Chains A and B, each alone.
Chain A
Amino acid sequence: MVDQLLIAGVSFGRNCIGIVLHPYEAYRRIVREGSLYELIYITSLLIFYFALASVVKVAAFRPFLLTRQFIVLVSAVVATYCVVICLLWLVGQKMGGKGTLRGVAIAWGYTLVPTVLWFFVTSLLYVVLPPPRTTSLAGIALSALFLAFSATLFLWKLMLGYLALRFGLKLDLARILVVVAVVGPVVGIYSYGMYQLGIFKVPFV
């Protein structure tokens, strides 16, 4: 098991570089050769972020509150991940998808990399340059820069999501759009529920 973890660690590092530099080829490899142990490394990345986010959100060294916040965040993300994977798998199968659940799960796991990156940078920016932004020239310039950064990561996320469905479920674009049209509103309602519960204002999908 240790050697499988080590091999998965090397694969995780290589795939992270791959999804940045050549995402198409990287996703082919992820779906074909990916190991479920790689999800452990993705989970570790998420846990590191949630530990940081708990400290920033609670803004006080109160162990009980920090632990509670951390557990709520981790549970919510695991639940969201499972819901999204199940929905994509079920709807994808109905649309004639031919992949494996393992492939979809690992491929979707890697789409969380841009998500955690955006949340991480936003958390840091919250500490370094807390809101609100002003309508001065500097405020508008910083706002434009932040929006450009957010839009870039969002487009990257969309691209990785498309590749996850393309290679994970072996669907073409038309069927992928149908899957997104069905799964999107359900995830939207779920995200609204998360917002109402005060867990995530921006959905961690």
Chain B
Amino acid sequence: MVDALYQKFVERWEEVTDIPPQTLGPLTPLYKRAARYLKIMPWPFLVVGAGFLVLGMYLLFGSAITLLVSLLQRGF
């Protein structure tokens, strides 16, 4: 049983150390904070991010977003 547990530990250790750690210099703490929210159930943040993006587009282009949507709808 100890061997099986140790084997599981070794497998998990190799899995974690297989990938180089993500470092962004002074932005590393910010990255790790953001990544924590995106690793599990990222949808609230994706939807809020998309909402801000669309709001920005509306403030920038106004009702011209309807033209963009008309183009996108023909894009398939």
A: residues with CB less than 8 A from B are 20-25, 28, 32, 53, 56-57, 119, 122-123, 125-126, 130-135, 139-140, 142-144, 146-152, 154-156, 159, 166-167, 170-174, 201-202
Contact = CB atoms under 8 A, between A and B. Distances in A.
Interface in B20-76: 20-24, 31, 38-43, 46-47, 49-51, 53-54, 57-58, 63, 65-70, 72-76
The 8 closest A-B pairs by CB, nearest first: A202-B75, A151-B50, A24-B39, A133-B66, A143-B69, A132-B70, A152-B50, A131-B70
Contacts of B3: none
Contacts of A21: 40-41
Contacts of B70: 131-133
Contacts of B51: 148
B39 A201 contact: no
A122 B73 contact: yes
A172 B66 contact: no
Nearest to A150: B72
Interface of B: 15, 18-24, 31, 38-43, 46-47, 49-51, 53-54, 57-58, 63, 65-70, 72-76
Nearest to B40: A22
B65 to A, nearest CB: 5
Nearest to B39: A24
Contact of A131 (B18, B23, B73): B73
A170 B43 CA distance: 25
Given A143-B66, A148-B47, A125 B54 contact: no
